[in-house]
Amino acid sequence: MGTKRTSNDQVHASAKKKPNGHWSKGLLSSMADPDLIVEEDDLMTVIKDKYPKAEIHYLILPKEDISDLGKLQKKHLALLEKMYACGNRIVEQNPNYEIRLGFHAVASMSRLHMHVISQDFNSQCLKTKRHWNSFTTSYFVPASSIISELENNGCIKRISSKTAESMLGTPLKCHKCSLEPKTMPQLKMHLITHSKKGS
């Protein structure tokens, strides 16, 4: 996947100077920020997450203006498969990490984006129960499942806001064992024990 920074220098410069308004549109400016861009081509851009929730946390975004999973159509299948292949290349480049590829069932940021995130969750930006549950419950939908659903049904079924809030409100639980800590600081201290074990 080749970079095209030279042809986009003016776009990048103007994007850094002009905010895109509401915070939910922040990914659009991030896609044009040379400090965040990892690689890009005519169809997609790979960026470092501005507020990573793990040691490895990238976002893969389409150049096409697709706001969320609900806007996907069967014609986007090839695009999703290319995004998935790109994510798997990142996995292969980081063999010492357990990495998952997936989408939030209801994304807070406008512009479809696939998360490529390591399962250490070692990050100062991981602060709240909602952060945790958005990556460790069924709120985080594997990319392979999204591709299969789109292939079979031609669209992605939206979940209700009530279901989404239920997922995000789930009691804290370690994703590696059965521990159910009471607070995020307790959970983060516990995660260090898994890191030391290499599990």
- What are the pLDDT digits (tens) for 73-129? 999 999 999 999 999 999 999 999 999 999 999 988 889 999 999 999 999 999 999
Judge whether 84 and 145 are in contact, CB under 8 Å: no
Question: Using CA of residue 126, residue 118, residue 111, residue 11, what is the dihedral sign?
Answer: positive
Task: Give the CATH number of the domain where residue 34 resides.
Answer: 3.30.428.10
Beta bridge partners of 137: none
DSSP three-state, residue 136: helix
Total number of domains in the chain: 1
pLDDT over 70 at 65, yes or no: yes
- pLDDT confidence of 16, banded at 50, 70, 90? very low
* Under 8 Å between Cβ of 80 and 113: no
pLDDT-based confidence at residue 7 (cuts at 50, 70, 90): very low
- What pTM does this model have? 0.86
Residue 173, domain member (yes or no): yes
- DSSP class of 61: E
Q: Is 113 a catalytic residue?
A: yes
Q: Which residues pair with 58 in a beta bridge?
A: 48, 116
CA distance 195 to 199: 6
Q: Which of 22, 113, 115, 190 is catalytic?
A: 113
Range of the structural domain that residue 44 is part of: 6-197
**1 lies in some domain:** no
Other beta carbons within 10 angstroms of residue 171's beta carbon come to 9
192 vs 120: CA distance, rounded Å: 9
Q: What is the pLDDT of residues 153-165, one digit of tens each?
A: 999 999 999 999 9
C-alpha 31/C-alpha 40 separation (Å) is 9
pLDDT score of 196: 67
